Amino acid sequence: MARTARSWDPGWIHHVDARAHCGAPIFATDEDRAFVVARATRVFAEEGIVCLGWAVLVNHYHLLLRCPASPGHALLRLNTAIARRARLKGGGAGAVFQGRFFSALCTSDESLRRRLAYVTANAVHHRVVPSVAALRGYAWSSFDDVMGVRDAKLASPDDVLSVFHETDADQARRGFVELLEGRALAWAGRTGDPDLDDEDDADSDEPKLVVTRRVADETGMRRTVGAVLGASARPADDWDTVAGRRAALRAIGWRPTDLVAPVCALVGAEPADVRTGCRRSAPSQARAIVSHVAADHLAWPTNEVAAAVAATSSAVVQARPRGAALLAGLRVTAAEIVAVSRRR
């Protein structure tokens, strides 16, 4: 079936993002992120594209672009360079990015402002930094570009500030910060604003945690498996060795199958689908995470892990790296998942 054509008009502003396949940490280092910014700067200059906002996270990036034509060709150039570098650096084969890039038009001034806040403060949204104030000095967002703290790396400060005030830069910057602060409060659940994420990630298949509310950005807390299940995910005791963890779990009758329910809560899968060998995306993701947690974090016998997820031992071995990448993308630790599974 053919894909639906993208909508675009010359001069319109697009919010685009691209995400790594299975949440792999392809932008794990400052060198990786610097490559994205440098290559995007070059490509956009050559394509006549103006960038109003950007953020580079561990496994995806966001851009807000005013384009003279469809952004497809520019994104193809950018993502091809990123993918080639990732494969030369880390080896492997297959897709580096998860499907085609997400793209949405800013169809109104309000839409532009919302997306400008979402893109610029994305590191706050993902708890990489604790607050909007902490974006000052953070290298991988356009915040300092707009605030004049540094020479602009990629974004065009004048184009951003004109959204808030045409002549007074200081007043425009105050309006810009107020917008970001309001967005951060909405993410933290401190306002009645129903406009939290709406369509910002509508085209993304990235696994997400389902939380009942957002935690305050000032605390530096992040979403956890405990937030999903309504329980503290902090272990009651410290396990210094893998053998000690495994022995303690065996003593209380714990088995790898106890991981299935909390992991399914993370990725939106049904435990029954995991235990019966269903091969759809969500159960497969859950199966990979269980394999990683049980085999790598606890060194549990592979045959017992395989029985818990209705897979062969060789499939468990192959799934472990994918499970580790998925867990990194979800920003949840193996220890948190095990702690919650013990309380069930």
* Confidence class for position 344, pLDDT limits 50, 70, 90: low
pLDDT 10s digits, 65-92: 998 888 889 999 999 999 999 988 888 7
* Confidence class for position 161, pLDDT limits 50, 70, 90: very high
Query: Distance (Å, rounded) from C-alpha 62 to C-alpha 75?
Result: 12
Helices assigned H by DSSP within the chain: 30-47, 72-90, 109-120, 122-125, 143-147, 157-161, 169-187, 225-229, 242-251, 260-267, 271-275, 281-292, 302-308, 313-330, 334-342
Say which CATH class 13-206 falls into.
alpha beta
* Confidence class for position 99, pLDDT limits 50, 70, 90: confident
Domain boundaries, given as residue ranges, for the chain:
13-206, 225-342
DSSP output for 23-89: G--TT-SHHHHHHHHHHHHHHHHHHTPEEEEEEE-SSEEEEEEE-SS-THHHHHHHHHHHHHHHHHH
Structure confidence at residue 226 (pLDDT): 42
Structure confidence at residue 228 (pLDDT): 40
Residues 63 and 53 sit within 8 Å (Cβ to Cβ): yes
Structure confidence at residue 69 (pLDDT): 83
Greater confidence (204 vs 64) lies with: 64
Say what percent of the chain tops pLDDT 70. 82
Structure confidence at residue 252 (pLDDT): 87
pLDDT 10s digits, 312-332: 888 888 888 899 888 888 888
The DSSP output letter for 14 is: E
Stated pTM of the model: 0.57
**CA neighbor of 165 nearest in space, from 151, 155, 179, 152:** 179
Average pLDDT over all residues of the chain: 81
Sheet architecture: strand order including 13-19: 50-56, 60-66, 13-19, 102-105
SS3 of residue 201 by DSSP: helix
Structure confidence at residue 260 (pLDDT): 93
Say what percent of the chain tops pLDDT 90. 40
Yes or no: domain 225-342 corresponds to CATH 1.10.1750: yes
Residues 58 and 25 sit within 8 Å (Cβ to Cβ): yes
Q: Which two tokens stand for residue 266?
A: 């993370």
pLDDT 10s digits, 122-148: 999 988 899 999 999 999 999 999 999
pLDDT of 233 > 60? The answer is: no
Structure confidence at residue 3 (pLDDT): 53
pLDDT 10s digits, 6-57: 555 667 899 999 999 888 888 989 999 999 999 999 999 999 999 999 999 9
Mean pLDDT of 171-199: 74
pLDDT of 272 > 70? The answer is: yes
Greater confidence (79 vs 223) lies with: 79
